[in-house]
Amino acid sequence: GIMVADDTARVFDAIAQQGGCARFVGGVVRDALLKRDLVDVDIACDLAPEETQAALEKAGIRVIPTGLKHGTVTAITDAGAYEITTLRVDVLTDGRHAEVAFTDSWLEDAKRRDFTFNAIYCDLDGTIYDPFDGETDLRDGRVRFIGVAENRIAEDFLRILRFFRFQAWFGRPPIDPVGAEACRKAVNGLHDISVERIRDEMFKLLRSRSPAGTINDMIGFGILPAILPKLIHTDCLRIMQWLDSTALADPAIQPDPLRRLAALFAPGGDRRNSDDDEDNLAAAERFARDLRLSNEETDRFAEMVAHAPLIDPKLRPEIVRRDLYRMGAAAFRDAVLLAWSARAAVPPRCTRAENDEWKALIEAAANWQPVKLPIQGRDILKAGLAPAGPRVGALLRQAEEYWIDRDFQPGRDELMDYIARQITAGDEENE
Ligand code: ATP
Ligand code: MG
């Protein structure tokens, strides 16, 4: 059954008080059957949305009418938010939007859902209503469309990506050829889906435990090339698989969707080639922007992709420390994981000794103690070495380079001397 908080029971009771019936549906039931932690809670209900809203308010529960037209209100309680949607049928669909009508038939409501295991309902007391035997499909790892796959996809092309997303999470290979073939035929419909929705589905997929197999299916059935044309690195699957096996073997490294996306994108070309390097950065940024990643994600993604080809486990320790200082340990580790995977996944692969070298880089990141430049702008001002202004920043950056080049050893006095010398040298040059 589903572990319910008191607040959840209050929501169900409030609806029952008005003569309605509420049942859990969707992810919350799936996750309960699989004994996973709950994320968001969807509830179906046979009251009209306004009635639901009134019932909840009468019971003193805060309600936000999040989508009255589509039949959805959100109940806000201390235990969290509950999306409560009136039973409905989709009367008209154009592949993107559905016009809906409300119904009091639980079966009609089930039929408009996408996959059999997404149409399992559950009472507050744990009774299951499972009109399409989704529980068996869930247990067998079968992602099965309700009704005829072609028709269901044509109603809403996002279901193509949901199919693969649920395959990654709950499917057992091989992928269902009927569903996958229907997706292949409808792939052009994805061009009508907004980039944001594609991005969200892809990230959900890339958060699954081990997405490489499903990514492989998505390439095979022509889905990935349709949504991320620039992405596909010829060795991406092997790279992602290797990345995941390494990451999964180390409990300190959490699976990470952005790193996996970078693995798909991983540049394999020349290392330490500054021209290529710039192209990688620009290409990665463009790719991330096209996918509407946030600024923060874009920066992280681009840094990873651009820096990975520069990393070599034979780098001298001071170079490694410099990278750690400049990038921070997390970003450095991302780049190392990516570079290591790109090297280890494709022939000639890595020897055991080489793998140990890569591991040492991961450890260097884990053990990195951040260091701080021992001087600040105001030290330069106080010593009267420069007036307030841009010159101070420039001198500080020069001192930082000097300090990094000497492996963070110079102390405050040596750095101030260095700055004084720079000024003298500059003055002589100007004469
Ligand atoms: P999660 O919340 O973990 O992403 P979920 O299955 O709960 O998974 P939601 O997007 O929250 O997915 O949708 C809740 C339910 O609504 C689904 O389980 C499904 O029954 C139905 N649903 C959602 N999107 C669609 C869709 N595009 N087509 C058909 N039914 C859908
Ligand atoms: Mg959900």
Cβ neighbours of residue 106 under 8 Å, at least 6 residues apart? 23, 44, 46, 87, 121, 129, 131
75 CA to centre of ligand 2 in angstroms: 15
CATH of domain 6-140: 3.30.460.10
Mutate-to-test residue for ligand 1 from 29, 42, 86, highest number of ligand atoms within 8 A of CB: 42
Give per-residue pLDDT as tens, 163-202: 999 999 999 999 999 999 999 999 999 999 999 999 999 9
Q: Which residues pair with 45 in a beta bridge?
A: 22, 86
Percent helix, strand and coil across the chain, each to the nearest 5: 60, 10, 30
In the chain, DSSP finds a helix count (H) and a strand count (E) of 21, 9
Cβ–ligand 1 contact at 155 (below 6 Å): no
* CATH code 1.10.110.30 region(s) in the chain: 146-227
Return the residue whose CA atom lies nearest to atom 26 of ligand 1.
114
- Residue 86: which residues within 8 A CB-CB, separation 6 or more? 44, 45, 46, 47, 48, 49, 52, 71, 72, 102
Taking the C-alpha atoms of residue 48 and residue 104, their distance in angstroms, rounded to an integer, is 9
Query: Could you tell me the two tokens for 38?
Result: 């709950």
CA distance 13 to 286: 51
Region(s) of the chain under CATH 3.30.460.10: 6-140
Residues with CB under 5 A from ligand 2 (ion): 26-27, 40, 42
Q: Which CATH architecture has domain 146-227?
A: Orthogonal Bundle (1.10)
Q: Which of 135, 94, 139, 129 has its CA nearest to residue 109?
A: 129
Check residues 406 and 93 and name the one with the higher pLDDT. 406
Most confident listed range (95-109, 287-301, 416-430): 287-301
pLDDT, tens digit, for every residue of 217-259?
Answer: 999 999 998 998 766 777 888 888 888 888 767 877 888 999 9
Ligand 1 in contact with 42 (CB < 6 A)? yes
Mutational pocket test of ligand 1: of 33, 45, 114, the residue with most ligand atoms within 8 Å of the beta carbon = 114
pTM: 0.88
